[in-house]
Amino acid sequence: MRLEGLSYMQLVILGIIIVLLLIIVSCIKIVPQAQVYVVERLGTYYQSWGTGPHFLVPFIDKVAKKVSIKEQVVDFKPQPVITKDNVTMQIDTVVFYQVTDAKQYTYGVERPLSAIENLSATTLRNIIGEMELDTTLTSRDVINTKITSILDMATDRWGIKVNRVELKNILPPREIQDAMEKQMKAERERREKILQAEGDKKSQILVAEGEKESKILRAEAEKQAEILKAEAEQQAMILRADGIRQQKILEAQGEAEAIALVQQAIADSIVKLNNANPNSQVIALKSLEAFAKAADGKATKIIIPSEIQGIAGLASSVKEIVSEK
């Protein structure tokens, strides 16, 4: 675009148009995510703009404050506090907070972070002043809960939500630290001795129980061995007795069978003799045979029936006659 051919008035109008365009462009505001713009109109609060594009009326509206609504973390320097037992220590805190109302945050308090720091320091002194040193060192969770509750209630009117307060460090005086270290060392040594004594005691108990169990097991084994030995001997005696009994039964059965056979033979011979109808001479001859068998025994006296005596005499007479002839 060439400007040599334009008149002065045209140049002025062109300049005014350019200025107006720049003003209009500068009045277009785009609020980014997680931020809120507090807008004033003629020096008075007008409205709070959220995320997105907005138009600012030139020369009338202005952005008074840009507020982040993300959760923020602020680490305060150590604060001197005195416990109930008059021990001075240094405690530093970490505060997690979030702006919930941009208007109250802008107009409710001057320098909000300084206000939170001073409020946390005074609250911490009040809480620690009611506790002794040992309780303070072992009650971090209790202190955190109390100070969080108190700060949250106090900062509501400022549009601030205190989510959490943590005690970062608790630093007692150096002499107290030395005394605590000595105490902890003595406590550790005492616990070590107790644990060692308990270990020795348990070891001795286990050894004694092991010996006891071993003796009991040996006694049980010997008892079982004796029982098994006695049972074996009893079974052997029973078996021997059964063998002897069976042997005697077999011998008796054999003798009974032999006697039965002998008697049967005698009976058979008698039956045969009866069937043969023997005469007196045969009977006498059988008597002599029986007498001969009786005479072969070990008896010292022999009773001879009269019939046999007569037969013997007859036998002698026959013998003499035969001799004479």
DSSP-based three-state secondary structure for 28: strand
User: Do 291 and 237 belong to one domain?
Assistant: no
3-state secondary structure 35-85: EEEEEEECCEEEEEECCEEEECCCCCEEEEEEEECCCEEEECCCEEEECCC
pLDDT digits (tens, 9 = 90+) for 81-139: 888 888 888 888 999 999 999 999 999 888 888 999 999 999 999 998 888 888 888 88
Between helix 140-154 and helix 112-128 the angle, nearest 10°, is 140
CATH number at residue 119: 3.30.479.30
Are 35 and 102 in contact by the 8 Å Cβ rule? The answer is no
Q: Are residues 134 and 154 in the same domain?
A: yes
Note whether 64 and 81 are same-domain residues.
no
DSSP 56: P
Structural domain includes residue 180: no
Task: Give the tens place of pLDDT for each residue, 4-62.
Answer: 556 778 788 888 888 888 888 888 888 999 899 999 999 899 999 999 999 888 888 88
Both tokens of 180, joined, read: 């605590």
The residue from 68, 98, 116 where one domain ends is 68
Residue 109, both tokens: 């308090």
How many domains is the chain partitioned into structurally? 4
Say whether both 151 and 230 belong to one domain: no
Residue 30 in domain: yes
Copy the structure tokens of residue 57: 């009326």
Q: Residue 310's domain spans which residues?
A: 278-325
Indicate if 231 and 161 belong to the same structural domain: no
- Shortest CA distance to 51 belongs to which of 32, 68, 64? 32
The pLDDT tens digits for 172-222 are 878 877 777 787 888 888 888 898 898 888 988 999 888 888 889 988 888
Q: Are 54 and 78 contained in the same domain?
A: no
Give residue 74's pLDDT: 92
> 252-309 pLDDT, tens per residue?
888 888 888 888 887 777 777 677 666 666 666 666 665 555 555 555 555 555 555 5
Residue 177: inside a domain: no
- Check whether residue 259 and residue 204 sit in a common domain: yes
